[in-house]
Amino acid sequence: MSPTPFDQWTLKTIRYDASIMNWLEERRYEWIALASDALQRIVSGQSVLVLTDNERDWFARYIVQSVNRSASTRPFVPIYDLKELFPNIQNFTTNEEIELLYDMFSISFANGFFVWYIGRPTSKYVKIAKGREDNFLWIMDEDMQNNFTLKSYDELLDLKLVQLFRLFDKSLDAAMFGEVSFS
């Protein structure tokens, strides 16, 4: 069986997964562009460094614990909570410090890496997230290129984050098992 194009697979998954609400169908084209890049990079061996604002630390833990749960049938994914991996990250604020941090990541993750940031644009961590154009960004309340924008004041925000992660996790399975194509 040949792989399904990622955009078609995503639409079908959104429509037929009862846990994913229809709000995501309306925004699928924004999602597809960002997610396909992140998924291809993971499949090629890059590491993921999850970074959140302090309000969403729970979500970073949820992502890291869920991606590599023992019941999964896929290979483990190199995904890390950046605040746990590097506790001093909260002190990095200058451009020079952020450049040094990225240099260290380049040495530590020889196959490549990217930061997956989820949070408000006012967080002290957003400057780190914006340190490279190829990071996977979910910056709230800020419309910008290469960002999946959510509204911080949305009363369903936490639910939407979990739904987005569910779609990402299912997409990761499909990408790793060759069920989707990204052309």
pLDDT in tens, the chain (183 residues): 789 999 999 999 998 887 777 888 899 999 999 999 999 999 999 999 999 999 999 999 999 999 988 666 888 999 999 999 999 999 988 999 999 999 999 999 999 999 999 999 999 999 999 999 999 999 999 999 889 999 999 999 999 999 999 999 999 999 999 999 997
Residue recorded with tokens 């979500």:
59
**Tokens 């890049």, located at residue:** 37
Query: What's the CA gap between 154 and 136, in Å, rounded?
Result: 21
The whole-angstrom separation of Cα 114 and Cα 141 is 22
CA dist 102 and 131 (Å) reads 8
* CATH class, 4-177 region: alpha beta
pLDDT at 73: 82
The two three-digit tokens of residue 79, written as one number: 């995904």
Q: How high is the pLDDT of residue 71?
A: 66
